[in-house]
Structure 1
Amino acid sequence: MSARTVLVTGAGRGIGRAIALHLARSGWRVFGGVRTDVAAEELTAESDLITPVELDVTVPGHLVALDRALPERLDALVNNAGAAVAGPIETLSSADMHRQFDVNLIGPLALTRALLPRLREARGRVVFISSINGRVSFPFTGIYNASKYATEAVADCLRVELRPFGVQVGLVEPGVIDTEPWHRMDQLIDELEADLDGPHRALYAPHFAGERRLIGKIRKNAKPPQRVAVAVERQLTRRRMRPRALVGADARFILGMKALLPSRGLDAVWAQGIGVRAGTEESTLGPGRDA
């Protein structure tokens, strides 16, 4: 029997790289989507079962070229490629928002649609790498949260729409994972604050200070990318995929808090986490009125 085939996007680093290497070690023939020659060379050096393919999910020409780069039979697609746009929502540009959704939602959907004929033929599987941010929204990552919420909605829809064709769809939802962006998070926060205009910098100074403290605590409990890779393999090999697979005790704890606390209670937890307080002035709508 020939090796099972899988395309893993964003395989050049972090979680995607861990997934590609883990599946290759498990005997999969892996096609790893990368954006640089260096990443391609590094993957090739790791395993003979990994074939790098140039792939930026937001570039239509790359999707067209995949038709020649991939085998006729494709058993699985792992939509891992993604980006995170951070900062107070008030300060984000339209370009920031479009980029966030292009990379995390529109691009992966275009890729999935392009590969569905192969996946239908193989009665294959599609895994979307989401996040606990797709279930619970956190301050300072609002647009990223929104893109992951949308990914979850689309996966739920595809799971039913593709059911008659034998194509299974599932999500993997990690908590905090020890990848390169977390190593430079302090620098990123500094850059975000420095890029704000004066008035916004003053308004959000307490938020940024709180984020710096919180990030230091969260980073200590980050899990290795290998944990996500193992969860992906389970999704690809179990008889019936789980609609959602959480990764990490932190993800399970946060989801439990959302289930137990009312919305205002959860708001208070996040506000306390970054050390900000609600305004004390009375609403101009007057007491007892709803906006």
Structure 2
Amino acid sequence: MSTHTVLVTGSGRGIGRAIAVRLARSGWRVYGGVRTDVAAKDLAAESDLITPVKLDLTVPEHLDALDAVLPARLDALVHNAAVAVAGPIETLSRADMHEQFDVNLVGPLALTRAMLPRLRTARGRVVFISSINGRVSFPFTGIYNASKYATEAVADCLRVELRPFGVQVGLVEPGVIDTDPWHRMDQLIDDLEAGLDLGHRTLYAPHFAGERRLIPKLRRNAKPPERVAAAVERQLTRRRMRPRTLVGADARSILGMKVLLSTRGLDAVWARGLGV
């Protein structure tokens, strides 16, 4: 059985949980970052090879406490924890923007920096769970898109900077994945619209109507989280990591549109999709 070790952030549910469980079943010693005691208990019940660790990437003390939990060498770090701040960019507050980047970019970079001595020792690997949103920007998720674009830029940089140390870096870019937010998306859109002032609700009413028409179509093509977990395992076990791995036919189709269409052409696709 493998004695490889991995830290997976955001392991309490969805994609992160699927990654943690799959790697444990393959013999990895998994340290799964969770934010609540309930999530820790549920995750630990999945396998004796999973050790939950309290980890909110916006809390420096949680990062400091990892020294007492993790082994001296770490074979892999999987950055999965993320949030998605949605809404028309005009309506987003400075606090919204800080939350988006603190969780999706600043926190993962701080964790990477803290883990690099362990990763160098193991000549380990770093996987960032990005998104097709890291290559193509969609309306209503502009700040989330920006955080994923930034994640991809950082991964590209780290891939070269860490190369002399034998630490490989790669991205996994899923399309729509069947996780809890997609099950609640209709209510999330309703709540988002209700939270706007009257002026913005009026201005963006057609956009919200378009989003409501699009959601069922996107949800029908959602892939299970296990598809992402399988892609991560391949990244961690192949001889050389791929810089980027797309997950889902929708992700490949969207990237294909970006390659084939002009910028104005792609803008027109999103506008038609929203009916604006």
SS of 1:169's equivalent in the other structure is strand
- Cα deviation for residue 216 of structure 1 reads 1.1
Give the match for residue 194 of structure 1: 194
The one-letter code sitting in structure 2 at the alignment partner of 1:34 is V
2:162 aligned with 1:157:
no
Give the match for residue 285 of structure 1: none
- For residues 71 and 208 of structure 1, the distance between their equivalents in structure 2, rounded to whole angstroms, comes to 48
The one-letter code sitting in structure 1 at the alignment partner of 2:137 is S
- For residues 154 and 45 of structure 2, the distance between their equivalents in structure 1, rounded to whole angstroms, comes to 35
Give the match for residue 74 of structure 1: 74
Q: Is the 8 A contact 2:43 2:52 kept in 1?
A: yes
- For residues 60 and 169 of structure 1, the distance between their equivalents in structure 2, rounded to whole angstroms, comes to 23
Q: Is the 8 A contact 2:159 2:169 kept in 1?
A: yes
- Sequence identity percentage: 85
- For residues 85 and 44 of structure 1, the distance between their equivalents in structure 2, rounded to whole angstroms, comes to 29
- For residues 114 and 57 of structure 2, the distance between their equivalents in structure 1, rounded to whole angstroms, comes to 11
The one-character-per-residue Cα deviations of 1:28-58 (angstroms, maximum 9, x if unpaired) are 0000000011111111111000000000011
Give the match for residue 43 of structure 2: 43
Q: Is the 8 A contact 2:2 2:28 kept in 1?
A: no
- Cα deviation for residue 234 of structure 1 reads 0.4
2:65 aligned with 1:65:
yes
Give the match for residue 21 of structure 2: 21
**Which protein is bigger by CA-based radius of gyration?**
1
Give the TM-score normalised by the residue count of structure 2. Answer: 0.99
SS of 1:177's equivalent in the other structure is coil
- For residues 193 and 39 of structure 1, the distance between their equivalents in structure 2, rounded to whole angstroms, comes to 30
Q: Is the 8 A contact 2:179 2:225 kept in 1?
A: yes
SS of 1:46's equivalent in the other structure is coil
2:86 aligned with 1:86:
yes
The one-letter code sitting in structure 2 at the alignment partner of 1:223 is K
Give the match for residue 284 of structure 1: none
Moved >6 Å (runs of 4+): none
Give the TM-score normalised by the residue count of structure 1. Answer: 0.94
Give the match for residue 214 of structure 1: 214
- CA 1:221/1:2 → structure 2, altered by over 3 Å: closer, same or farther? closer
- Cα deviation for residue 2 of structure 1 reads 5.5
The number of residues matched between the two structures is: 276
- Cα deviation for residue 82 of structure 1 reads 0.2
The one-letter code sitting in structure 1 at the alignment partner of 2:171 is L
The one-letter code sitting in structure 1 at the alignment partner of 2:132 is I
Give the match for residue 204 of structure 2: 204
The one-character-per-residue Cα deviations of 1:96-154 (angstroms, maximum 9, x if unpaired) are 00000000000000000000000001000000000000000000000000000000000
Give the match for residue 136 of structure 1: 136
Q: CA RMSD in A?
A: 0.6
- Cα deviation for residue 73 of structure 1 reads 1.4
What are structure 1's unaligned runs of at least 5 residues?
277-291
What are structure 2's unaligned runs of at least 5 residues?
none
- For residues 44 and 105 of structure 2, the distance between their equivalents in structure 1, rounded to whole angstroms, comes to 28
